[in-house]
Amino acid sequence: MTLLETIRGPRDLDSLSKEQLVQLAAEIREFLVTEVSKTGGHLGPNLGVVEMTIAMHRVFESPRDAMIFDTGHQSYVHKLLTGRQNFSTLRQQHGLAGYPQRSESEHDIVESSHASSSLSWADGISRAFAMTGQGDRHVVAVVGDGALTGGMTWEALNNISDDNTRRLIIIVNDNGRSYAPTIGGMARFLNTMRTRRSYRSLYLSSRRAFDRLGAPGRAVYRGIRGGMHGFLSRFSNNEALYSNLDIKYIGPVQGHDVAAMEEALRQAKGYGAPVIVHTITEKGRGYEPALKDYADQFHAVGQIDPETGESLESSTAASWTSVFADEMVTLATQNERLVGITAAMLRPTGLHRMAERFPDRVHDVGIAEQHAVTSAAGLAFGGLHPVVAIYATFMNRAFDQVLMDVALHKAGVTFVLDRAGVTGPDGPSHHGMWDLAILQVVPGIRLAAPRDATRLREELAEAVVVEDGPTVLRFPKGGVGVEFDAVRRTGDGVDVLCESGKDVLLVAVGSMAGLALDVADRLSAQGIGATVVDPRWVVPVPKSIIELASEHRIVVSIEDGIRVGGIGTRIRQDLREAGVDTAVTELGLPDEFLDHASRSQILERVGLTPQQVALDVTAMISGSKLPHARPLPEDAAV
């Protein structure tokens, strides 16, 4: 039995010797590389927080002391130390989540896994403890240096510093990276702190010197360390940004030294007031492939060879992201007014290729989606056309800025939303399923959903020439897949993909076109005629959709966004306003948080498969009430 296998809960760490702690850290890293290489997951971030997490659980008493991880992707070590060591189905259906999840363990507190929110959680929890007579309970928040680029972090710090009576410890996990190297003035400040022979390095070097003297030396050390700490802490605080917030500061601390981390955390615990512990770590620590020039690829990995780090996943299809990346370079070459903006996700969103070609025309603003959007409005005012590339799930965070800063001012800004719809193993906080419902309420907005690579290029080119309001292009995660040519295009740009009768008009939103065509074939086999259309631009609803709807018995919209307030709802409203009484049924995702699983498993569960949709439409045609997410009979004819 390995030492790791004996750890069933945090208190099993208490009796371990210094040598055993070093052994445990090595075993955890070996475990992570072996297991995550089989399933995929966030490997690099977790390799960097092994000793830090061990020290946290030795010093504090989870779950009585609340531990919060920002953004939560670095919680694998926390899971291992709290009794969850079956990683064989990590991020798979019914397996361990890739982020903290309350249903898994009482040790998990915050599930949202969106960056920069941890300190606001910590502020609220610590206030609640103080107000309810639980002042002996601590709150520990781990926040990466990348999250310090987010404004919400500073809003929280402003409030935390206003009340120094709470037991709140903020661990700044400083590895110089978020998805990629952290950018901006905050990054430059922390880099200066890392390289300075600061209070903490002097303090620890003096401790090692005294320890070498044996017991007498340690006694002397204990006698003078208070005075040394007081002097050097003031020395450091006078130079530290955090001192101006009136929050005690300890650091920088070597984050891969369990003893140093424990000493710093015990000292912070003893203050009885908010404390910042600045720890220096290395993302990908102990795994050579993750430390090379392409280390950012190991932030999150698919299945890899554990020895070499090479991907074991093969795909002949280009990804949606790569198609967008290449087209942005093409368009930027033709139009010097185009600029790119991303929020700490230059490579994941594909803007890195434009940045390589036109480095002065791409801006990474850090984890600051709200700033990205309003900054884009300013760029538009200055005569440029910004393309803001962001994951669909993170677009939720900047809705007010889209509404009031871009749309109200009729700014020509294009938003490109990657990972739209059901994304799969990252779970409920990362599905990009709300963008269509949220954004379509913005006056003057135009929303496009390409069905394949050709339409992505086409619609992006159309979007970036719109100068009187926001445009949005959204596409899913993964490979682009096959092309679907239209049999004809209407005068207002709607693609008719097939026409086999006037019974059902299937309106396919973006990547759902393939499903709709499959459904049409199944219906045709039963003598039900169907027309499949791809609106291309789904908002505003093209007039030809209204005209086609008036010619059919029923309309069925199919989208991988939530049904509530989705595109189908918009079509229904427009039909009513036009006086068209054709029945409309909206097929999409339920208004619930969808657990982690593969995209296909989730779509099957919610009834978005060709078989289930064909059954639903058949039921409508026969006059039955439309069932949603009904289990498919094994002997179903369709």
283 catalytic, yes or no?
yes
Instruction: State residue 2's pLDDT score.
Output: 95
For residues 276 and 333, membership in a common domain is answered with: no
For residues 454 and 532, membership in a common domain is answered with: no
Q: Tokens 């306003």 appear where?
A: 577
pLDDT of 350 strictly over 70: yes
Q: Which two tokens stand for residue 180?
A: 């990629």
410-461 pLDDT, tens digit each: 999 999 999 999 998 988 999 999 999 999 999 999 999 999 999 999 999 9
For residues 150 and 268, membership in a common domain is answered with: yes
177 catalytic, yes or no?
no
Instruction: State residue 354's pLDDT score.
Output: 98
For residues 190 and 264, membership in a common domain is answered with: yes
CB 35 within 8 A of CB 88: yes
- Marked catalytic residue, from 369, 459, 559, 586: 369
Indicate the pTM of the whole model. Answer: 0.84
219 known member of a binding site? no
Q: How confident is the model at residue 183 (pLDDT cuts 50, 70, 90)?
A: low
Task: Give the count of domains, the chain.
Answer: 3
Cα dihedral 119, 193, 243, 230 sign: positive
Q: What angle do CA 372, 377, 379 make, to 5 degrees?
A: 90
- Marked catalytic residue, from 397, 455, 477, 563: 397
For residues 123 and 253, membership in a common domain is answered with: yes
- Which residue range(s) make up the domain with 531? 496-621
pLDDT of 634 strictly over 50: no
Q: Where are the beta strands (DSSP E) in 60-213?
A: 66-70, 139-144, 168-174
- Marked catalytic residue, from 79, 166, 248, 283: 283
CB 571 within 8 A of CB 584: yes
Instruction: State residue 380's pLDDT score.
Output: 98
115 known member of a binding site? yes
430 known member of a binding site? no
561 known member of a binding site? no
Q: How confident is the model at residue 184 (pLDDT cuts 50, 70, 90)?
A: low
Instruction: State residue 186's pLDDT score.
Output: 53
138 known member of a binding site? no
Q: How confident is the model at residue 53 (pLDDT cuts 50, 70, 90)?
A: very high
Residues 366, 368, 374, 375, Cα dihedral to 10°? -10
Report the SS3 class of residue 164.
coil
175 known member of a binding site? yes
CATH number at residue 562: 3.40.50.920
Nearest partner of 402 among 443, 463, 344, 431, judged by Cα: 443
Nearest partner of 591 among 434, 399, 370, judged by Cα: 434
For residues 347 and 469, membership in a common domain is answered with: yes
Q: At what angle do helices 320-334 and 453-463 cross, to 10 degrees?
A: 40
pLDDT of 218 strictly over 80: no
480 in a domain, yes or no?
no
446 catalytic, yes or no?
no
CATH number at residue 186: 3.40.50.970
Which strands make up the sheet holding 583-589, listed edge to edge? 488-489, 495-499, 530-534, 504-508, 554-562, 583-589
113 known member of a binding site? yes
